[in-house]
Amino acid sequence: MSISVVVPTTLERAAIRETVESVLRSAASRGDEAEVLVVVNGTTARPPLENMGSPMLKVVTVERRSAPGARNIGFRLAHNDVLLFVDDDCIVPSSWCQELGTALGSGDRVAVAAPVRTLVRGSVTAFIDYQRLFHAPADDTGEAQYVVTANCGLRRDLVPGGLFFDDRNFNNAGEDTGFGLSLRDAGHTPRWLGNAEPVSHRLSEAVEEISERYARYGRAHARLHTRKAHPEAALPGALDWYRSIVDGRDDGYRRFSEFPDPAVRAAFTVYDLILHTSFLIGYLEELGREWGHQLVRVDHPALRAGWRRVARQVATPITDLAAPDYSQLGRDPAARRPVAQWLPPLLRQHARPISATPACSKLDALVRKRFRFSVNRHLWRGRLVDTWTRLSRPPDTAEDMASLLRSQGGSFREGCQELEGMLSGRQPIAGASPRPERRSGACEVLARW
């Protein structure tokens, strides 16, 4: 079966021409019937795509700015039933169309998802890449919970009738998650192509790449369960959790103790705190709007300035990231401290939760009662730690670790966090030799935590 590739774009990404060129090179392996549909939305300009010199390329322009709407247009206009999706800040490998197209054309699988890695330019992108933030998360069997449009494919002829990307409730985040969860509700599990060559994501080194993106994801997740009835997107007791962070009582965050370099640990811990806190703030903001009761008051410009200020303290050139040593997960005594001292004052000043009121307490109770995770997290944690303790030796590489965690039904970043928390304070695994500390200026940052 031949393929059609859909690339939505507003032409604001500097890499759009490189993205399309990489897609054209890959699509050429699928024969003369392959096509590349670039759906330009929100602008009528086309200069970056002029003179591409390929009969496979078709450019469609629509006035309305909407990524899910653009994907739906490609969904409808494509000549082929095998549809591949990629974002306009990604570069695909030459094997991409062949790998995804073959997986979709060889059976009755409705959707596939494949790895996305980030091009490392500094400490922020090194963190994003290490955490595999754009991999479609695993379900209990290791397949994909949903698709991520940076790297996925669909069989249009097998997609249930009437199912499209939701461009009414979502515009720039969450529509691919909602689409994938709706597929699962209809009985179709997206297949995970873990051995496929990954797509490369081009992202900024600015810390806003984390904070603003994950605030959007948080808002989208609130809508996923309030508007779309997907309970697996819910965060029961989210306001209580946020209050514990603001009060300095939460100490369950990542320390990245598998890294021997304290500069890496300091930077990655800060970025992870920014990621999770931004997600939670976005979630609470949107949940408050959905329920008609404000949960958090945020001064976004001041909060962004605060994130930048903290990130500058730990920014470090990471051109050759030292290999993690997973025998050291949870072993670093300097990292086992209460929540970072800088975070609660920053949130109290610029992102305050509302005062406890009967109405707010009732709202928390409603959220906990109405929306619950579909996966039993206690069983998953038990299976995860049981598997870990049965290992003769910990994984050697991040790839091995990612495969292990996915086989247990969890994402890389979630699984590492759970394991680090469970292993904290335990004796080292037999035969593991601790690595020497390499002191750096980041030690002073860690010492203040």
pLDDT of amino acid 68:
92
Residue 338 has pLDDT above 70, yes or no: no
Residue 18 forms part of a structural domain: yes
Last residue of a domain, one of 139, 174, 204: 204
| Pair (199, 227) in one structural domain | no
pLDDT of amino acid 34:
94
Per-residue pLDDT of 378-396, as tens digits, reads: 677 788 888 998 999 999 9
Per-residue pLDDT of 73-91, as tens digits, reads: 999 999 999 999 999 999 9
Containing structural domain, residue 69: 3-204
Q: Tell me the C-alpha distance between 423 and 404, whole Å.
A: 16
Query: Phi and psi at residue 329, in whole multiples of 5°?
Result: -55, 120
| Pair (253, 357) in one structural domain | yes
pLDDT of amino acid 441:
36
Tell me if residue 201 falls in helix, strand or coil. Answer: strand
pLDDT of amino acid 398:
93
What confidence category does residue 236 fall into, taking pLDDT thresholds of 50, 70 and 90?
confident
Higher pLDDT, 30 or 252: 30
Residue 51: left if φ>0, alpha if ψ -120 to 50, beta else—which one?
Answer: left
pLDDT of amino acid 366:
57
H-only helix segments in 205-342? 208-226, 238-246, 262-291, 300-314
Residue 110 forms part of a structural domain: yes
Last residue of a domain, one of 175, 204, 233: 204
Amino acid, single-letter form, for residue 132: R
What confidence category does residue 357 fall into, taking pLDDT thresholds of 50, 70 and 90?
low
What confidence category does residue 448 fall into, taking pLDDT thresholds of 50, 70 and 90?
very low
Residue 216 forms part of a structural domain: no
Residue 25 tokens read as 């090179």
What confidence category does residue 442 fall into, taking pLDDT thresholds of 50, 70 and 90?
very low
pLDDT of amino acid 373:
43
Q: Using N-to-C axis directions, what is the helix angle for 175-185 and 67-77, rounded to 10°?
A: 50
Average pLDDT over residues 99-103: 95
Per-residue pLDDT of 401-426, as tens digits, reads: 999 999 988 889 999 998 998 888 55
Higher pLDDT, 14 or 288: 288
Structural domain count of the chain: 2
**Residue from 149, 18, 13 nearest 72 by CA:** 149
Residue 447 has pLDDT above 80, yes or no: no
Q: What separation in angstroms does the CA of 394 have from each of 230, 385, 391, 401, 425?
A: 35, 12, 6, 8, 17
CATH number at residue 108: 3.90.550.10
pLDDT of amino acid 153:
96
| Pair (148, 111) in one structural domain | yes
Tell me if residue 423 falls in helix, strand or coil. Answer: helix
pLDDT of amino acid 435:
34
Contact 152, 112 (CB under 8 A): yes
pLDDT of amino acid 361:
63
Amino acid, single-letter form, for residue 28: A
What confidence category does residue 53 fall into, taking pLDDT thresholds of 50, 70 and 90?
confident
| Pair (31, 162) in one structural domain | yes
| Pair (197, 227) in one structural domain | no
| Pair (236, 143) in one structural domain | no
pLDDT of amino acid 367:
59
Per-residue pLDDT of 342-353, as tens digits, reads: 899 999 999 999
| Pair (181, 271) in one structural domain | no
User: What integer best gives the mean pLDDT of the chain?
Assistant: 84
Contact 181, 223 (CB under 8 A): no
pLDDT of amino acid 365:
62
Per-residue pLDDT of 161-212, as tens digits, reads: 889 998 888 877 888 888 988 998 899 999 999 999 999 999 999 999 899 9
Residue 177 tokens read as 């998650």
Model pTM score: 0.88
| Pair (294, 196) in one structural domain | no
Last residue of a domain, one of 141, 174, 204: 204
Q: Tell me the C-alpha distance between 370 and 233, whole Å.
A: 12
Amino acid, single-letter form, for residue 259: F
Contact 132, 95 (CB under 8 A): no
Residue 232 has pLDDT above 80, yes or no: no
| Pair (174, 312) in one structural domain | no
Q: Tell me the C-alpha distance between 181 and 224, whole Å.
A: 9
Residue 214 forms part of a structural domain: no
Residue 70 has pLDDT above 60, yes or no: yes
pLDDT of amino acid 301:
96
Residue 179 forms part of a structural domain: yes
Residue 212 forms part of a structural domain: no
Residue 372 has pLDDT above 50, yes or no: no
Residue 444 has pLDDT above 50, yes or no: no
Higher pLDDT, 439 or 132: 132
Q: Tell me the C-alpha distance between 218 and 220, whole Å.
A: 5
| Pair (112, 159) in one structural domain | yes
| Pair (242, 350) in one structural domain | yes
| Pair (195, 226) in one structural domain | no
Query: Phi and psi at residue 245, in whole multiples of 5°?
Result: -70, -45
Per-residue pLDDT of 116-151, as tens digits, reads: 999 998 899 999 999 999 999 888 888 998 999 999
Residue 215 forms part of a structural domain: no
